[in-house]
C-alpha cells in the first residue's frame, strides 16, 4: 500500500523549485570577494602593523620578518645616563 505523502513536504518541494539559479552566482561572487579581502588583509596586515609600530617609535623584534625594519639596539652599560647628583653639588 502506498503511504500518503506529507503535504508539508510537497509544499516545500514546490517552493524549493522556485529557487532562482542566478542566486548561486550572487552568493558565490560575494563569498569570493570576502575570501580575497581576507587573504589581502592576511598578507599585508603584519607588515602594515610593523610599519605603524616603527613610525610611533617601536623597534622590530629580532625574531620577526627580516628585511622590513632594522632590529633595535640596546645601549651598552657605559652609555646608560647617570642621573645621580654628584657629591658636594647640593
Partner 1 sequence: MTEVATSLKPVVKPTDNELIAWFLADQNPDHFTLLYRRYAGKVFAKCISMLSDEGLARDAVQDIFIKVYLNLARFNEKSSFSTWLYSITYNFCIDLIRRKKKIPVLLSDDVGRIGDEPVPEVPDSVLLEMKHERLERVLAELPEGDRIILLMKYMDEMSIRDIAEFFQKTESAIKMQIMRAKHKAQVVYDSIYAHDPIES
Residues that bind partner 1 (CB under 8 A): 4, 6-12, 14-20, 23-24, 26-28, 30-32, 34-35, 38-39
Q: Toward partner 1, which CB reaches closer, 43 or 51? A: 43
Distance CA 41, CA 60 (A): 20
Q: Looking only at Cα atoms, what is the longest distance across the chain?
A: 115
The nearest distance, CB 36 to partner 1, in angstroms, is: 10
Q: What length does the chain have?
A: 90
Supply 86's cell numbers.
Answer: 654628584
Minimum separation from the CB atom of position 56 to partner 1 (A): 32
Smallest separation (angstroms) from partner 1 to the CB of 42:
10
β-bridge mates for residue 60, sequence order? 71
Amino acid at each position: 500500500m502506498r503511504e500518503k505523502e506529507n503535504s508539508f513536504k510537497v509544499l516545500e518541494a514546490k517552493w524549493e523549485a522556485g529557487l532562482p539559479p542566478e542566486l548561486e552566482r550572487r552568493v558565490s561572487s560575494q563569498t569570493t570577494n570576502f575570501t580575497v579581502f581576507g587573504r589581502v588583509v592576511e598578507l599585508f596586515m603584519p607588515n602594515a602593523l610593523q610599519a605603524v609600530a616603527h613610525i610611533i617609535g617601536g623597534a622590530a623584534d629580532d625574531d620577526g620578518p627580516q628585511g622590513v625594519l632594522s632590529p633595535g639596539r640596546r645601549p651598552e652599560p657605559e652609555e646608560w645616563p647617570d642621573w645621580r647628583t654628584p657629591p658636594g653639588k647640593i
